[in-house]
């Protein structure tokens, strides 16, 4: 990467606002990187070259006229295929939505644009974000820039690769079961899964929204630095009248600088390279003045199992056979079949209601823990970045993928904030990521802890 497309978003915006770096130059540098890298990596599905240049020229005119274009002035960002942007269809990675151009931008896109940021492309994803790998029949597979024989994870895989390779300085993704944290960990960048409600989701109008989407899924930023995540959060957060679960959050009172480390959640096994990454992160936090203690998160197994069963129940109800006007893609069909067969979806309303009732018990136990130990440090996945299609191949493969991601999905079940941040490399030179899990609405605290890891590893 050249100097421009390797710069953090905050630095780019500072230079543009000061008139030292034209926004047009910023956009052109990123478009050159897209031209050089995207044909091979397939990270971005649509490129907005002309529109991005026009917006950059408008930013430069504003700066020349003495105006402040905003805290993200001239910063190119990508938008996942599941987030509404009127410049192209919101396909969700599925052929059935190839022509579904939205009538309005999502609130998160609008807020980024009002802050001066410039959409530069759409990020690839699997059908409806269902898989933990990024591939679909509409656009094809996104490749890992570090090793083509390794997955880039998913579902925000295209956006993660775009940021990691300098095609975009920021990205908007979403996270239902690790979809921000997994791909960022695979390509050595940072990602924030905000607290539930902190950042608006999709607008709710006439179409009912599954409970799991309401409570497990969030929109959030991907960036090359933790500081850029914090900057993006300051732009994205806040109540949205069209999202009934969005909230306004008061900054947390002072919390103890204490982090609980879990290297092998539930003792089900962890790769040595992943364990070493967690150890490096813990050492960085200790050097930065954090008290580091050992923890075992309460009721973790139940949280992970209930996430899986509830998620698969809702997926069958909304995406199962006969629910869509045309079939899912081939890999998504296989994933849905294998995952739901292995997960044992709920068959009665009483079972479904009981699972949601248990969520309050588990959340209370975690809240008590995080009153004393506010931040939990652990792996994203407990195995090294796997091969493409690792989440396919029958019920055993579906079970193995879920078990490796047990700490990830528990976070979604509870609606907690979590920051994925690089923590070195494995024996093959591939990035290793860890996650810093904060208490509910303790996003800033998790970001501070992640920043200490970033600075110290």
The per-residue DSSP string of 255-303 comes to: ---EEEE-SSGGGS---HHHHHHHHHHHHHHHHTT-EEEE---TTHHHH
DSSP-based three-state secondary structure for 71: coil
DSSP-based three-state secondary structure for 380: coil
Query: How many separate helices (H) and strands (E) can be counted in the chain?
Result: 15, 11
- Write down the catalytic residue from 82, 179, 185, 217: 179
- Write down the catalytic residue from 78, 82, 88, 155: 155
Instruction: Show the tokens assigned to 175.
Output: 């996270």
Q: How many whole angstroms separate alpha carbon 191 and alpha carbon 187? A: 11
Q: How many whole angstroms separate alpha carbon 183 and alpha carbon 191? A: 9
Phi-psi region of 239 (alpha: psi -120 to 50; beta: other; left: phi over 0): beta
* 80 flagged as catalytic: yes
Instruction: Show the tokens assigned to 108.
Output: 């998160």
* 156 flagged as catalytic: no
- Write down the catalytic residue from 37, 80, 88, 151: 80
CB 163 within 8 A of CB 100: no
Q: Return the H-helix or E-strand segment holding 192.
A: strand 190-193
CB 440 within 8 A of CB 375: no
Backbone angles phi, psi at 220, to 5 degrees: -165, 170
* 155 flagged as catalytic: yes
Segments in 292-442 forming alpha helices (H): 300-319, 330-343, 349-372, 395-404, 406-414
Catalytic residue numbers, as ranges: 80, 155, 179
């Amino acid at each position: 990467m050249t100097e421009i497309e390797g710069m953090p978003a905050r630095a780019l915006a500072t230079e543009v606002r000061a008139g030292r770096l034209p926004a047009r130059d910023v956009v052109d540098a990123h478009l050159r990187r897209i031209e050089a890298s995207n044909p091979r990596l397939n990270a971005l599905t649509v490129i907005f070259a002309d529109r991005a240049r026009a917006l950059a020229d408008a930013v430069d005119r504003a700066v020349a006229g003495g105006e402040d274009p905003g805290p993200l002035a001239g910063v190119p960002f990508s938008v996942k295929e599941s987030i509404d942007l009127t410049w192209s269809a919101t396909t969700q990675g599925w052929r059935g939505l190839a022509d579904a151009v939205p009538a309005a931008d999502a609130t998160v896109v609008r807020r980024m644009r009002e802050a001066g940021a410039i959409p530069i492309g759409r990020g690839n994803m699997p059908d409806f974000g269902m898989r933990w790998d990024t591939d679909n029949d509409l656009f094809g597979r996104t490749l890992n820039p570090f090793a083509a024989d390794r997955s880039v994870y998913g579902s925000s895989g295209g956006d993660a690769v775009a940021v990691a390779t300098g095609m975009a300085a920021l990205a908007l993704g979403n996270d239902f079961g690790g979809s921000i944290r997994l791909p960022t960990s695979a390509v050595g960048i940072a990602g924030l899964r905000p607290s539930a409600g902190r950042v608006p989701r999709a607008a709710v109008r006439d179409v009912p929204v599954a409970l799991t989407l309401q409570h497990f899924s969030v929109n959030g930023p991907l960036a090359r630095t933790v500081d850029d995540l914090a900057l993006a959060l300051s732009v994205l957060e806040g109540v949205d009248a069209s999202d009934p679960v969005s909230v306004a959050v008061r900054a947390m009172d002072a919390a103890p600088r204490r982090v609980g480390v879990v290297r092998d959640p539930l003792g089900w096994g962890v790769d040595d390279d992943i364990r070493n990454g967690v150890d490096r992160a813990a050492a960085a936090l200790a050097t930065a003045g954090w008290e580091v203690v050992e923890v075992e998160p309460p009721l973790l197994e139940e949280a992970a199992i209930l996430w899986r069963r509830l998620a698969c129940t809702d997926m069958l109800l909304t995406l199962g056979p006969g629910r869509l006007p045309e079939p899912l893609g081939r890999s998504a069909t296989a994933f849905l079949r294998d995952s739901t067969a292995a997960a044992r979806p709920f068959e009665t309303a009483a079972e479904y209601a009981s699972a949601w009732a248990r969520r309050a018990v588990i959340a209370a136990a975690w809240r008590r823990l995080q009153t004393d130990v506010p931040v939990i440090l652990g792996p994203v996945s407990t195995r090294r970045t796997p091969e493409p299609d690792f989440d396919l191949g029958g019920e055993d493969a579906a079970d193995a993928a879920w078990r490796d991601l047990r700490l990830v999905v528990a976070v979604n079940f509870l609606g907690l904030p979590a920051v994925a941040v690089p923590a070195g490399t494995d024996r093959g030179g591939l990035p290793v990521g860890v996650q810093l899990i904060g208490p509910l609405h303790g996003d800033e605290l998790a970001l501070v802890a992640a920043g200490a890891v970033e600075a110290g590893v």
